[in-house]
Structure 1
Amino acid sequence: MIKFNIAQWRAWAPGLESVDAWQAWSRQPALPENSDAAPDVSFLPAMQRRRLSRLARMAFSVGWPLAEGLEQLPLVFISRHGETPRTFEILSDLAAEQPLSPTQFSLSVHNAVIGLWSIMRGETSEMTALAAAGDGLEHGLLEAATLLADGAPHVLLVITEEQPPEAYASWIDDVPFPYALGLLLTPATTGSCPWAAMTVKRPGPNGPTP
């Protein structure tokens, strides 16, 4: 079993940007309307904002405020599908025998967001980008817990998924709307009310699996 505290959190989805909005949504969950809206990242210089896709903007919008005032903050970034719109553009250009953009390619890889985060914040702490199928939250918490156990006083966990292009509809059915979640995790302490996670055995084709 792993234990940890959630010191702060932030989340974003189209039309859901405040704590009150998310609390209301949790009482009556519903799909947000399709929207090209992107979160406000005006805290970044304009030159830096230009490089950010919506997925990156979502990650920065939930993560940056949580990192305020904290130095040497390890980051765990989770996304199952990553930059699907950029990837689709690259594949479309390739199919049309058009020249590929080195910038687009460099920003489409799975660890592009943490690379940009490191550059823009001047952050040199350990950073990890994971794609863990449908168990991203669980693997992200496990990765963050190991960093806390190794002595980190805080760990930032960011989970984000972009709405994939329509061409991927037959293969990607687990992203009902674009979203991002940021959790600032700290070690469980005496007298606190920590969260806990444990492994459970579930049936598998070859017997129980953790």
Structure 2
Amino acid sequence: MITFNIAQWRAWAPGLDSVDDWHAWCHAPVLLPVSQACPDVSFLPAMQRRRLSRLARMAFSVGWPLAEGLESLPLVFVSRHGETPRTLDILSDLANNQPLSPTQFSLSVHNAVIGLWSILRNETSEMTALAAAGDGLEHGMLEAAALLSEGAKAVLLVITEEQAPDAYASWIVDVPFPYAVGLLLTPGDEWQLELTGGAVQLTQTQWPHALNLLRALLTEQAACQHAWKNRVWNWQRKS
């Protein structure tokens, strides 16, 4: 079992930009229409903004405000699928015998976001990029808890997923719309996360667990649960 506090949060999805937007959605969640909207990252230099995919922009849009004023802030970045649009573009170029762009490739790898974060914030703290199937949020929490136990005053956890291209639609079924959730975690016992094992029946939930956790946070639920394969994760908030 690990314990921690969620000191602050930020989230973004197309049409959900403000805290009030997310409170409304969490109380009455609906599927968002397909959109090419991108979050505002005007706090970044224009030259750098042009290099960022929507996935990276989402990560920066939720992470940057949470990191404001904090120095030596470790980052844990979690995405199950990563830069699927960039990857498909690269594969399409290969299939069509087109030359590959070194920049496109370098920005498609899974740790590209934390590399850009390190450069743009001049941040040299420990950073980790994870892809952990259906319970990546929980594995990200374990990584963050380890950093807190080693003495970090706070850890930034960012979870984000991009809408999959149509070519991947049959395989990527757990991203109802593009989203990003950022959590600023600090030492404490406001929340506890415990793993239990055993045979469980995997049920398909409508919303990714990062969004279900946000719903629990904003609707003041005392607990929530997430099961994946033979792992059952129990989240409990101190009353």
Into which bin does the TM-score normalised by the smaller protein fall?
Answer: over 0.9
**Secondary structure of 2:34's partner?**
coil
Q: Match for residue 134 of structure 1?
A: 134
1:103 aligns with 2:99: no
Partner of 1:169: 169
Q: 1:16 to 1:147 in 2, by over 3 A?
A: same
Q: How does 1:63-102 map to 2 (within 5 A)?
A: 63-102=63-102
The letter of the residue matching 1:199 is L
User: Structure 2: which amino acid aligns with 1:198?
Assistant: E
Alignment of 1:150-189 (within 5 A): 150-188=150-188
- Aligned equivalents of 1:35 and 1:137: distance in 2? 25
Structure 1 segment 36-55 matched on structure 2, within 5 A: 36-55=36-55
Report percent identity of matched pairs. 77
Distance of 2:141 and 2:78 partners within structure 1: 10
Letter of the 1:122 partner, please give it.
N
CA distance in 1, matches of 2:54, 2:198: 36
Residue in structure 1 matched with residue 190 of structure 2 by the alignment: 194
Cross-structure match for 2:33: 33
Higher strand share: 2
CA distance in 2, matches of 1:51, 1:34: 23
SS at match of 2:133: coil
Tell me, in whole angstroms, the C-alpha distance in 1 between the residues paired with 2:21 and 2:37.
Answer: 16
**Cα deviation 1:125-167 (Å, max 9, x = unaligned):** 0000000000011101111001000100000000000001000
1:202, 1:27 → 2: CA distance? 32
Q: Give the secondary-structure state (helix, strand or coil) at the position aligned to 1:195.
A: strand
Give the aligned residue type for 1:45: P
> Which structure is richer in relative contact order (CA contacts within 8 A, separation 6 or more)?
1
Equivalent position amino acid for 2:125 in 1: S
> Equivalents in 2 of 1:136, 1:24: separation in Å?
26
SS of the aligned residue for 2:6 comes to strand
2:127 aligned with 1:120, yes or no? Answer: no
- Runs of 4 or more, structure 1, over 6 Å off, are none
Offset at residue 202 of structure 1 (A): 2.7
The residue number in structure 2 matching 1:56 is 56
Question: Matches of 2:34 and 2:180 in 1, distance apart?
Answer: 16
Cα distance in 2 for partners of 1:78, 1:32 equals 22
Amino acid at match of 1:53: S
Structure 1 residue matching 2:198: 3-state secondary structure: coil
Structure 2 CA distance for aligned equivalents of residues 158 and 81 of structure 1: 14
Alpha-carbon shift at residue 4 of structure 1 (Å):
0.3
> Unpaired segments of 5 or more residues in structure 2?
201-228, 232-239
Q: Provide the alpha-carbon RMSD of the alignment.
A: 1.4
1:80-135 per-residue CA deviation (whole Å, 9 max, x = no partner) reads: 00000000000000000000000000000000000000000000000000000000
**2: CA distance between counterparts of 1:22 and 1:79?**
21
- Give yes or no for the alignment of 1:22 onto 2:19: no
Q: For 1:17-76, what per-residue CA distance to the aligned partner results, in whole angstroms no more than 9, with x for missing partners? A: 111111111111101111000000000010110110000000000000000000100000
Residue 170 of structure 1 deviates from its aligned partner by 1.1
**2:219 alignment counterpart:** none
* Deviation, structure 1 residue 209: 4.7
